[in-house]
Chain A
Amino acid sequence: MIALENVSKSFDDGASFAVKDISLRIAEGETLVLLGSSGCGKTTTLKMINRLIEPTAGQIEVDNRNVMDVDPVELRRSIGYVFQGIGLFPHMRVADNVSIVLRLLGWPRRRRRRRANELLSLVDLDPNDYALRYPAELSGGQQQRVGVARALAADPAYLLMDEPFGALDALTRDTLQKELLQLKERLRKTIVFVTHDIVEAMVLADRIAVMHEGKVEQVGSQDEILNHPATPFVRDLFAKPAEQLSAFEEHRQ
C-alpha cells in the first residue's frame, strides 16, 4: 500500500506550493490515476513517492515504511518507474536496458539475460529480434515497451508511470494502454499512473484522483466522478470529452 498524508511540496521555501496538503491511499493491486492539466502537481506527487523529489511537509509511506527512512537508492530499485521521456540508455542494448536494475542489484549475467528475454516477451517484443538492438533502432512505441519492461525487471510490487504514452501517436497509445490493462490483470501490481488525458484515465484507472492547482479535487471511481462531481472544476473537466464527441458527431452523416 502507498499512503500519502497531508503532503505538500514547495520549490520556493513556502512562497507557493506545487502540491498542497494532499492525502491519498493506494491499495494493494489498485491502479490510481492522477489526472490533471500540466502544472497541477501530479508529476511532483508521483516523484515524491520514490524520493526523486522530497516533500516539504507531510508523510509518505510505501509498504508501511516512511520513505524518508529508506535509503533513496534502495527505495527506487524496489519501485518500477516508467518515464514520460522514456529515458532508455542509448549506449546500452535493449536487453541491457531492460535488465539494468538487476545489474545494479548484482544479479549474475546469465540470469539477467534470461530475465531480459522473459520481460521482452512479456511486452510483446521478440527477444531474438530485439534483445541485441540499440534503442535508437526502435520506434517510439517499441521504446516505451522496453521502458515498461525495464520497470518490471526486478518484479517490483509498485509501478509509477509518468505520462508514459504521452508522446506516442493515438493508435500506438491505444495498443499500449490495452496491453497495460492485460499486464495489470496478470501481474497484479499496484500502479500510480499520471496523465492529462481523460480518456486514458477512464480506460486504465480503478480510481481517479483529479488534481488542480496542487490540490486533489476528488478521488473516486469513474462512475462516481462522472455522475457525482465534487467540484465545478471536476464537472467542467469531464464535460469536455462529451462536448468534443458531440462536435465530432455533428460532422458525421
Chain B
Amino acid sequence: MNEQSLWAFLTARAPELWQKTLEHLVLTGVSTGLAVLIGLPLGIWITRNAVARRPVLGVVGIVQTIPSLAMLAFLLPFLGIGAKPAIVALTLYALLPIVRNTYTGLSEVAPDILEAAQGVGFTNRQQLLMVELPLAVPVIVAGVRTAAVIGVGIATLSAFIGAGGLGDFINRGLALNNTWLILLGAIPAALLALLVDAAIGLVERLLRRPQQTTPAT
C-alpha cells in the first residue's frame, strides 16, 4: 500500500476507529468497575474471615486460568451474544488481581498500627475506613491497574461474540485476509493497554507519595 492510499484508508476508517476504541474502553471500564465493586468487599471479607480466604482466592484464581475464548464460548448459551457475556467474562478475569491485592494490601498494614488504632478507640469500621483501607489503597490500585490492562487485552477477543470493540477490525481483517485491517485493530489496542497502564500507574504513584518516605517502624 503506498502512502496516499494508506492515508485514504485511515481517513475513511477514522470515525469507525474512534467508535470502536470507545466501545473497547466501555467494555474494559465497565467490567473493571464491576470487578472493583465485587472484589473490594470480597478482599476485605477474606482479610477478616480466615476460613473463607483459601476457597475465595482459589476460585478467583481458577477463573483466571480458563482460556478467554473458552470462557466467552461457555457464556454464550447462557447470556447470548453481544456486550453482556463479554462484560461478565471480563469482570471475572479482573477479579483475581483486585481481590488478591485488596487482601495483600490490608494484611500488610503493620500490627503496631492496628494495635494503636484499637488502643486509641477506633471502632472496627472506623479502623477499616480511616486506617486500613487508606494504607492499602496503593496496593489495591496496583491490582486495579493489572485488571484493567488484562481487560484491554481480553476485550479484543470479545468481538468474536459480537461485543464490538477494536477486535472487530481484527476479525474482519482475518476474514478478508487484510493485514491493514488487522493492524488497525491490533495497534490501537496495544496503545490503549499502554495508555491505561500509564494512567493508572500515575494515580498509584500519586497515592503512594505521602507514605513514600515511610519505612515500617
Contact = CB atoms under 8 A, between A and B. Distances in A.
Interface in B54-113: 110-113
Contact of A90 (B111, B113, B122): B113
Contacts, number: 74
A91 B135 contact: yes
B123 interface: yes
A100 B122 CA distance: 9
A150 B213 CA distance: 21
Contact of B119 (A74, A76, A89): A76
B112 A91 contact: no
A76 B214 contact: no
Contacts of A101: 120-121
A143 interface: yes
B118 A76 contact: yes
What does DSSP make chain A's interface, helix, strand, loop or mixed? helix
Interface string A77-95: 1000101011111110000
A90 B214 contact: yes
A77 B121 CA distance: 5
Contacts of B15: none
User: What band does the interface of chain A fall in when counting residues whose beta carbon is under 8 Å from B?
Assistant: 20 to 34
A136 B121 contact: no
A143 B122 CA distance: 20
B213 A136 contact: yes
Given A89-B131, A143-B217, A76 B116 contact: no
A87 B135 contact: no
A137 interface: yes
B213 A83 contact: no
A90 B135 contact: yes
Interface string A198-216: 0000000000000000000
A81 B113 contact: no
What does DSSP make chain B's interface, helix, strand, loop or mixed? helix
Nearest to B216: A90
A134 B214 CA distance: 8
Contacts of B211: 90-91, 134, 136
Interface in A96-149: 100-101, 104, 134-137, 140, 143
A81 B217 CA distance: 18
A134 B211 CA distance: 8
B126 interface: yes
Contacts of B113: 87-90
A74 B121 CA distance: 7
Given A83-B115, A85-B112, A143-B217, A91 B210 contact: yes
Candidate in A91, A101, A137 with the most chain B CB atoms within 10 angstroms: A91
A31 interface: no
Contacts of A86: 112, 116, 217
Contacts of A91: 134-135, 210-211
Contacts of B131: 89
Nearest to A76: B121
Given A91-B210, A101-B120, A104-B121, A83 B126 contact: no
B212 to A, nearest CB: 8
B89 to A, nearest CB: 36
Contact of B112 (A73, A83, A100): A83
B119 A81 contact: yes
B121 A137 contact: no
Given A87-B119, A90-B214, A134-B211, 13 more contacts: A73-B123, A75-B121, A81-B119, A85-B116, A88-B217, A90-B113, A90-B135, A91-B135, A104-B120, A104-B121, A134-B213, A137-B213, A140-B217
Closest 9 CB pairs of A and B: A87-B116, A85-B112, A77-B121, A76-B121, A136-B214, A90-B214, A81-B119, A136-B213, A87-B112
9 contacts: A77-B121, A81-B120, A83-B116, A85-B112, A85-B115, A88-B217, A91-B210, A100-B120, A101-B120
Interface of A: 50, 52, 73-77, 81, 83, 85-91, 100-101, 104, 134-137, 140, 143, 150-151
